[in-house]
Amino acid sequence: MKIILLGAPGSGKGTQAKLISENFNIPHISTGDIFRFNIIQKTTLGIQAEAFINKGELVPDSITVSMIKDRMNEEDCSNGFILDGFPRNISQAKSLNDILEEKGQRIDKVLFFDVPEYIIIERVVGRKVCKNCGAVFHSKFKPSKAYNKCDLCGGDLIQRKDDNEEIIKNRMEVYISSIQPLLDYYGNGGPLLVVNGYGDIKDIYRSVEKALIPI
Ligand code: AMP
């Protein structure tokens, strides 16, 4: 199954993507995670992307699309994938369509996580990520067992540079200006489904499963 997850930064799509990936056995492709990995590794891609990310701006489409094209050509994507954080605008959506069309494929489902804005800010500001493995925690909603240590690998938990209140405002503006055109693009009889992204992680996942496998 080829799935796109849409939603604001902090809407929980990354958390849900991990659960879908485990249960459906398809890779979770997060453009944000790929960029962050490349920044840590100091690759050319990481160096190109870092300044944009730290300001809360989008990395230029040419860089992002070529990265996603390479990723989707990898063997593990042959049975499907979950795109988290891509596409972020119509131009990326059209490029994705072209990439898939070349392979005779198309997107099966697009899930939009609907979460009120005041909750988004609270979620993002309290978010902590593991420096080692990228696992995501939250000081209030999902605290780690030991203070600032990852439950999974024991790595240090840090706040993402772009998760502070100032930058998140910019990220929200970028998001708000681009989400409606994407909803229009995938809606109107297309593969778009809206999921309530507010509440317990397990309850949200149940709605996700229902959307992916309608009874
Ligand atoms: P995320 O982890 O999805 O919130 O992404 C973190 C940052 O990575 C974003 O604020 C952008 O700067 C960059 N980024 C992630 N995905 C994309 C994309 N599809 N297009 C452009 N920039 C992106």
Rounded to whole angstroms, the Cα distance separating 65 from 75 reads 18
Atom of ligand 1 nearest to the CA of 33: 2
Q: How far is the CA of 188 from the centre of ligand 1 (A)?
A: 26
> Was 116 annotated as part of a binding site?
no
The pLDDT, as a whole number, for residue 186 is 97
Q: Is residue 128 annotated as part of the catalytic site, yes or no?
A: no
Sorted by sequence, the CB contacts under 8 Å of residue 129 that are 6+ apart come out as 135, 136, 137, 157, 158, 159, 160
The pLDDT, as a whole number, for residue 141 is 85
Q: Is residue 206 annotated as part of the catalytic site, yes or no?
A: no
The pLDDT, as a whole number, for residue 215 is 61
Contact (Cβ atoms closer than 8 angstroms) between residue 65 and residue 92: yes
Q: With a cut of 70, list the residues of the chain below it in pLDDT.
A: 214-215
Contact (Cβ atoms closer than 8 angstroms) between residue 111 and residue 4: yes
In CATH terms, is domain 2-115+180-212 a member of 1.20.1080.10?
no
Atom of ligand 1 nearest to the CA of 56: 10
> Was 153 annotated as part of a binding site?
yes
The SS3 call for residue 184 is helix
User: Ligand 1: which of 13, 53, 92 to mutate, most ligand atoms within 8 Å of CB?
Assistant: 53
The pLDDT, as a whole number, for residue 52 is 95
pTM: 0.91
Please tell me which residue in 88, 109, 123, 128 is annotated as part of the active site.
88
Rounded to whole angstroms, the Cα distance separating 33 from 45 reads 13
The pLDDT, as a whole number, for residue 117 is 84
Please report the sign of the dihedral spanned by the C-alpha atoms of residue 29, residue 23, residue 110, residue 6: negative
The pLDDT, as a whole number, for residue 188 is 85
